[in-house]
Structure 1
Amino acid sequence: MSLDQFNPHNPDVLSFNSRSSRVVFYLKPVFILVLVCFLGTVMAQRRSHAALTYGGGNNGSNFDSGYGVVFGVGYDAPLGNLKNVYKPAANYSLGVSRFMNDFTVSLTLGYHAYKPKDDLVTSGDIENTSTIFSDYRVYSAYAGAVYNLNLADDVRLYGGGNIGLYFTHYAFSSTDNVGEFIVDLRERDIYLAPRLGFIFALTNNIGLSLESKYNFFAPIGKSDYGSSGTFYTSVAAQAAITFKF
């Protein structure tokens, strides 16, 4: 792993290089197009029945109305320059969902922490720089909305997106021939993510969902270290249990 893109005396750290920026530029419209095509297809289809019901629907236990508490656990893998420094991490979430026939909306809190790939990284340049990275911690709060497509009486396909905030904290210390330089950053990031998944009925009031997301996040506000305006990405997969009430 190389840290040639980092300058400890001008820490525009963890920003995308031009190649990564081009990748993100082309990936964004692809994912948006896929999401639009999915939503257009499901909206155009004629529904064979009004809503998906679980357990036969004879007692009102279904996922087309009411509320649910959602517990999720998954795997989040950083991309771009974050991938060069940090390993994938487990992610955890807790949320509340509102079921409204074809649509589901939600509010969610989440947490994950990327660990550095190496405890100590050295650079081969003339300054003989060595760098130590902390964990990259992410606390998230976001709203979500999806459109549901019935595949069977106990299975739904859904697609939609999330919007909210990431609260991130990371630090690094670089040492070279001149001395030691320490950066400790706590940032607020705007967060967006298209999402696609399935939900399966386990009982009348319990559902299991499997979901994938492509996460975009960027620091907002002023920064002394030039990270504002930087765009980061990651991919995530998650399994969640929904308890409906």
Structure 2
Amino acid sequence: MRLKIDHQSAVPLHIQAENLLRELIKQPEYQAGKLLPNEVELAKRLAISRTTLRQAINKLVYEELLVRKKRLGTKVANAKMSSKSMNWLSFSQEMQARGIVIKNYELHISWVFPDETVAGFFDIKTDQKILKLERLRGNTQEPFVYFISYFHPRVGLTGDEDFKMPLYEMLEQEHFVIATLSKEEISARLADKLIAQKLEVDVDSAILLRKRFVFDQADRPIEYNLGYYKAESFIYTVESRRSS
């Protein structure tokens, strides 16, 4: 795409730059995650000052069309993923329903001793090992959620299951455990060093923490799940209906 500013036009330079950027970011390569040219290069190509260019970029950042990455550059913002509180599904099923291809960036299985919080939820002792599942997931461009799941020993997981399947489908098909009830807590957090590294954000960046407590048909706990979401990529919506 040819980038050119009309310096004889009555339209202000920053408006022209903004309009050019709006067209530029529609290009397939930038939609796919390519970084925009750096400000020095772009301002030089347009024969405008960096201040004028930055004014245009700031407008698109404000509109959440662009996102700045420290020490990396500026790129098109990903469309925010959303999740509703009603009719909950596994993460894979949620994203599949929205036509989003999910990629597993990391998948780790281990046997650990639960801390008091997890043991208390499962009503087991802290000296009994349970299966811990860690998954770093996202779209084909970047990760945006880090999951940590703990499972009650009663579920019967061995660690050899196919955890690339939708989780609750796998539990039902392979272990006859049907996830029926989910209780959730949503809170804001600042990313510590580990979470920042996983989600590719700066330390102390805002993230969304979703705790999910999952029960079977007999209201027995089966999963304790922590989900750390990149704030710029995720929206959680709550749907409520007033009873008559």
| Same fold (TM > 0.5) | no
Q: TM-score, normalised on structure 2?
A: 0.31
Bigger relative CO (Cα 8 Å, ≥ 6 apart): 1
Q: Which structure dedicates a bigger proportion of its chain to helix?
A: 2
